Structure 1
Amino acid sequence: MILSDKTILRMLDEKTLVINPLNSEQVQPASVDIRLGDSFSVVEDSPSGIITLENEINYKTIHADSYLILPGQFVLATTMEYFELPCNLTAFVEGRSSLGRMGLFIQNAGWVDPGFKGEITLELYNANRFAIELKSGRRVGQLVFAEMDDYALKPYNGKYQRQTGATGSKVFLDSDR
């Protein structure tokens, strides 16, 4: 079941759901607006010109109030908000349609597991032929919360737990290599 604004506000008040910082205008009828943070990461050049799933990828991280994403460029960004989800709540990340219509795609995995704590890393791609200026604090999407039928037996405790800033891929840590 997707949570209503009334339920979201109650859970925030009870502190069973944590979103910080949050202002009241961000709470929508069935979602919470997420804003762009000030951390941006891009993949550094690889000497071989190849990145693999087995090796750690090097990123250059920039902390700034704005970032110019070039045409065809891929950049990791972060939400301004830090989240703590209870073990019976999951969330879907949806990019803003208005940004998609500009050619800015939020190519994220789109899923937040129950028990997750941290900022959400956003995967941005500029499909436009023009550069797009991104500004920290601007709304870039929504988080839609869904209540599970029961508490998770194994809440999220993975490699991205408590992440802050634009966090690069940690696929090289996967056990199924």
Structure 2
Amino acid sequence: MILSDKTIKKLLNNKELEIYPLDDIQIQPASVDIRLGNTYTIVEDTSSNIIQLSGEIRYKTIQSDKYLLMPGQFVLATTMEYFKLPNNMTAFVEGRSSIGRLGLFIQNAGWVDPGFEGEITLEVFNASRCAIELQAGRRVGQLVFAQLDQDADNPYRGKYQGQKGATGSRIYLDNELQI
């Protein structure tokens, strides 16, 4: 079940769901607006021009209130907000239509697991023919919350728990699943 603004406000007031910083205006009828933080991360070039999923990937991180995203460029960004989800709730990251209509794709690789705590790393891509200026504090998407039928047996305690800033892939830590 998707949570309404009334339920979101109740959970926030009871500290069952935590989001900070949060302005009341961010709470929409069935979502919470998310804003860009000031951290951007890009994959560093390699001598072979090949990213190998089995090894640690090197990144360059930039802190700035503004970032110029060139056409065809991909960057990791972070939310301004820090989230703490209870063990019986999940969330989906959705880009804003107004942003998508400019050719700016805001994506998250899947949903936010129950029990997750941290800033959310966003995958940002400029599909436009023009550069797009990203600015910290700009609303770029929304988080849609859904209630689980019961607490998760294994809430999230993974490699991104507690992350702050635009966090690069840690896929090299996935030793138990080799495909």
After TM superposition, is the score higher than 0.5?
yes
Q: Name 1:42's counterpart in structure 2.
A: 42
Partners in 2 of 1:135 and 1:160 — Cα distance? Answer: 24
Does structure 1 conserve the Cα–Cα contact (< 8 Å) formed by 2:66 and 2:136?
yes
Does structure 2 conserve the Cα–Cα contact (< 8 Å) formed by 1:94 and 1:110?
no
Q: CA deviation at 1:7?
A: 0.5
How many equivalent pairs are there?
Answer: 177
Write out the 4+ residue segments of structure 1 that deviate beyond 4 Å after TM superposition: none
Amino acid at match of 2:9: L
* CA RMSD across the alignment: 0.6
Aligned partner of residue 52 in structure 1, secondary structure: coil
Q: CA deviation at 1:176?
A: 1.1
Cα deviation code 1:45-101 (max 9, x no counterpart): 011110111011111000000100000000000000000000000000000111111
Q: Name 1:140's counterpart in structure 2.
A: 140
1:66 is the counterpart of 2:91: no
Ranges in structure 2 where 5+ consecutive residues have no aligned partner: none
TM-score after normalising by structure 2 = 0.98
Q: Name 2:53's counterpart in structure 1.
A: 53
Listed as ranges, the matches of 1:79-158 within 5 Å are 79-158=79-158
Cα deviation code 1:111-167 (max 9, x no counterpart): 000000000000000001110000000000000000000000000001110000000
Does structure 2 conserve the Cα–Cα contact (< 8 Å) formed by 1:113 and 1:156?
yes
Amino acid at match of 2:33: D
Ranges in structure 1 where 5+ consecutive residues have no aligned partner: none
Partners in 2 of 1:97 and 1:82 — Cα distance? Answer: 23
Amino acid at match of 1:96: R
Aligned partner of residue 150 in structure 1, secondary structure: coil
Q: Quick one: percent identity of the two aligned structures?
A: 68
TM-score after normalising by structure 1 = 0.99
